[in-house]
Structure 1
Amino acid sequence: MKKIDKEKKLTVLGRETVFDGFLKFTEDLHIQGAFSGAIDAQGALLIEKGAVCKTQYIRAASIIIEGTVYGSLTAADKIEMKTGSIVHGDVHAARIKIADGVSFEGAVYMLRDNAGIDGNLFSMHPEQLKQKLRG
């Protein structure tokens, strides 16, 4: 996850939070509770241990998973799956790190580098994104 700047604001969806819908943010977000819907972000995302995300898609600058995610993940920089995390869905990133003890079911698509990602990546419909990633 990118280093959190002290001047940046961190948003936390707490353990008792249940969010259903579309979430868009520019700063960093930590999810501790339950989320379902879609995430389109320019900031970093941490899905903490115990959190459950059932998504159409997640797009963020970087994504760290300690909890459970169902749905496709796209990161402009990297996706990191930590020990004990559960991920069911395809992942797209320039860098991917999968620790021992991760339950991962899906496909991995390596993006060549950040230079190959245009600014429209985070505003594309999922079908457009799939076509762009396939070349």
Structure 2
Amino acid sequence: MKKIDKEKKLTVLGKETVFDGFLKFTEDLHIQGAFSGAIDAQGFLLIEKGAVCKTQYIRAASIIIEGTVYGSITAADKIELRTGSVVRGDVRAARIKIADGVSFEGAVHMIRDAAGAENSLFSLEPDQLKQKLRS
């Protein structure tokens, strides 16, 4: 008998969407339009080509950037900056991939204990997380 996998839920903020505020999610999110504010998530985030995000911060399990991001980015697992993307802000993750043709201004910080960071990163209050990320 074949086991049926749980179907993943995907949310898309389309090309014509403009969102300003705080965004929190647990599944997958693709941003195609414009976003400003903060993202605090436990799921996967894709910022597609043409999307522009002006953020206080982005925190997610894994992040792929093809568009433009202004603000700090933290991932419990990995961050991938793809060709043509623009990032202005610090990047922090256990694994980071920066392709050729990326415009990046900021610092790169590696999370040494990926398993420990993944288990505790999203359980911290924002002030506690900021303090932990500074140390």
Tell me whether the two structures share a fold, i.e. TM-score over 0.5. yes
1:24-35 alignment to 2 at 5 Å?
Answer: 24-35=24-35
Deviation at 1:116, TM superposition (A): 2.6
Deviates more, 1:109-118 or 1:88-97: 109-118
Letter in 1 for 2:7: E
Instruction: Provide the rounded CA distance (Å) in 1 between the counterparts of 2:96 and 2:9.
Output: 26
Which structure: larger Rg?
2
Structure 1 unpaired stretches of 5+: none
TM-score by length of structure 2 reads 0.90
Structure 1 residues 118 and 9: alpha-carbon distance in aligned structure 2, compared to 1, 3 A threshold: closer
- Give aligned-pair identity as a percent: 85
Does the CA-based 8 Å contact 2:62-2:78 persist in structure 1? yes
Aligned to 1:108: 108
RMSD of aligned C-alpha atoms? 1.5
Q: Distance in 2 between matches of 1:72 and 1:134?
A: 12
Report the CA distance shift for 1:110/1:7 in structure 2 as closer, same or farther (over 3 A).
same
- 1:52 aligns to what? 52
**After the TM superposition, which residues 36-75 of structure 1 pair with which residues of structure 2 at under 5 Å, given as runs?**
36-75=36-75
Q: Deviations over 1:73-99 (max 9, x none)?
A: 000000000000000000110000000
- What SS is found at the alignment partner of 1:59? strand
The two structures have a TM-score, normalised by structure 1, of 0.90
What SS class does the counterpart of residue 131 from structure 1 fall into?
helix
Kindly indicate whether the alpha-carbon contact (under 8 Å) linking 2:76 and 2:118 is maintained by their aligned counterparts in 1: no
What displacement does 1:114 show? Answer: 1.9
